[in-house]
């Protein structure tokens, strides 16, 4: 508490753009993912436009970002390739420059949503549906004189791909900046192991299905056991794993 500002993505992006105005900034994570289009903000009790507008970021990766991040770096290194065609990203362009494609889904504009809350509610359905399809459509929304373009997502990770992600040599520790500080959220997950990704529940109070999607991707038993062995070697391990974590505890009951 007190170390991270409200609207962290916007705050940090503005600082970076001020310090390094010519360097592209790519945002991601839950905050960016859930704010990629017009959304209701509880703090301000108001509808806010895409976080790309308020933050000034150049690109946004939504959902779990292993595949789009790798592809983004590959295309940064190959100047011949367009960044705007990468799946699972969102970007802003001038409406006058935007070229519509067959199959695009055009949402009610931000201005229309501000005038009529039913139009904002109507936008929710295609956003939800297209985020959970193997072959989804591109989504667009106008805001001021710009158009937000949200490319369709990558397919869910396979078991081998998910294992590869979780088998990386993570430290399992908070950032060194927090040394000596107690982080309640870290206390909860310190000795836990995540065993799959995605949740088909879609509960209104939870962001997991909105961020990770509703398709289930499971890790292999070998990958899970290997992580459990790593946890058991942690210096303050108490002898038990607190949670074999899944998005919803009762999903398979």
pLDDT in tens, 55-99: 999 999 999 999 999 999 999 888 888 899 999 999 999 999 999
Please tell me the least confidently modeled range out of 34-43, 44-53, 154-163, 189-198. Answer: 189-198
Interatomic CA distance for residues 37 and 48, integer angstroms: 8
The pLDDT assigned to 61 comes to: 97
| Res. 36: pLDDT tops 60 | yes
Reading the block at residue 236, the tokens are 């303050």
Q: What is the pLDDT of residues 46-56, one digit of tens each?
A: 999 999 999 99
Residue 246 has pLDDT above 80, yes or no: no
Give the 3-state secondary structure of residue 217: strand
Give the model's confidence band at 122: pLDDT under 50 very low, under 70 low, under 90 confident, else very high: very high
The pLDDT value recorded for residue 251 is 63
Angle 172-199-215 from CA coordinates, rounded to 5°: 105
* pLDDT surpassing 80 at residue 253: no
**pLDDT (0 to 100) of residue 248:** 58
* Residue 165: predicted pLDDT: 94
Please indicate, yes or no, whether the overall pTM of this predicted structure exceeds 0.85.
yes
192 - beta bridge partners? 243
Count of other CB atoms within 10 angstroms of residue 31: 16
Residue 13: per-residue pLDDT: 97
Which residues 6+ apart lie within 8 Å of 162 measured at CB?
Answer: 196, 197, 217, 218, 219, 223
pLDDT in tens, 96-116: 999 999 999 999 999 999 999
The Cα 52–Cα 91 span in angstroms is 7
For the chain, give the longest Cα–Cα distance. Answer: 61
Q: Is the dihedral of CA 20, 24, 29, 33 positive or negative?
A: positive
Q: Phi and psi at residue 62, in whole multiples of 5°? A: -105, 160
Six-digit token string for 171: 């430290």
CB–CB of 78/84 below 8 Å?
Answer: no
Query: Residue 180: which region, alpha, beta or left (left: phi > 0; alpha: psi -120 to 50)?
Result: left
pLDDT at 252: 58
pLDDT tens for 14-34 read 999 999 999 999 999 999 999
Q: Which spans in the chain are helix H? A: 8-19, 29-34, 51-55, 66-77, 110-115, 117-130, 159-166, 184-189, 208-212, 221-232
Res 184: pLDDT: 87
d(CA 190, CA 240): 11
Q: Residue range 208-226: average pLDDT?
A: 91
Q: Taking all residues of the chain, what is their mean pLDDT, rounded to a whole number?
A: 91
Q: State the Rg of the chain over Cα.
A: 20
How far is Cα 20 from Cα 120, in angstroms, rounded to an integer?
35
Tokens of 125: 């359905």
Q: 108: which DSSP letter?
A: P
pLDDT at 249 (0 to 100): 54
């Amino acid at each position: 508490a007190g170390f991270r500002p409200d609207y962290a993505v916007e705050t940090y992006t503005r600082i970076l753009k001020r310090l390094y105005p010519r360097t592209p900034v790519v945002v991601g994570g839950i905050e960016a993912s859930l704010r990629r289009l017009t959304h209701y903000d509880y703090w301000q009790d108001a509808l806010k436009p895409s976080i790309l507008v308020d933050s000034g970021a150049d690109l946004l990766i939504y959902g779990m970002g292993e595949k789009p991040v790798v592809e983004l770096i590959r295309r940064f290194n190959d100047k011949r390739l367009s960044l705007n065609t990468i799946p699972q990203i969102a970007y802003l362009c001038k409406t006058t420059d935007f070229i519509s494609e067959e199959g695009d889904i055009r949402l009610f504009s931000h201005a229309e949503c501000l005038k009529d809350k039913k139009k904002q509610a109507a936008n929710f359905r295609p956003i939800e549906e297209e985020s959970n399809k193997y072959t989804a459509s591109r989504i667009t929304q106008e805001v001021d004189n710009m158009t937000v373009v949200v490319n369709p997502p990558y397919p869910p990770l396979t078991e081998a791909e998910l294992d590869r992600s979780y088998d990386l040599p993570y430290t399992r520790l908070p950032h060194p900046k927090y040394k000596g500080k107690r982080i309640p959220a870290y206390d909860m997950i310190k000795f836990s192991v995540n065993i799959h990704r995605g949740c088909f529940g879609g509960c209104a109070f939870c962001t997991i299905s909105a961020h990770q999607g509703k398709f289930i991707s499971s890790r292999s038993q070998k990958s899970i056991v290997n992580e459990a062995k790593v946890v058991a070697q942690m210096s303050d391990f108490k002898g038990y794993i607190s949670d074999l974590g899944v998005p919803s505890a009762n999903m398979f009951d």
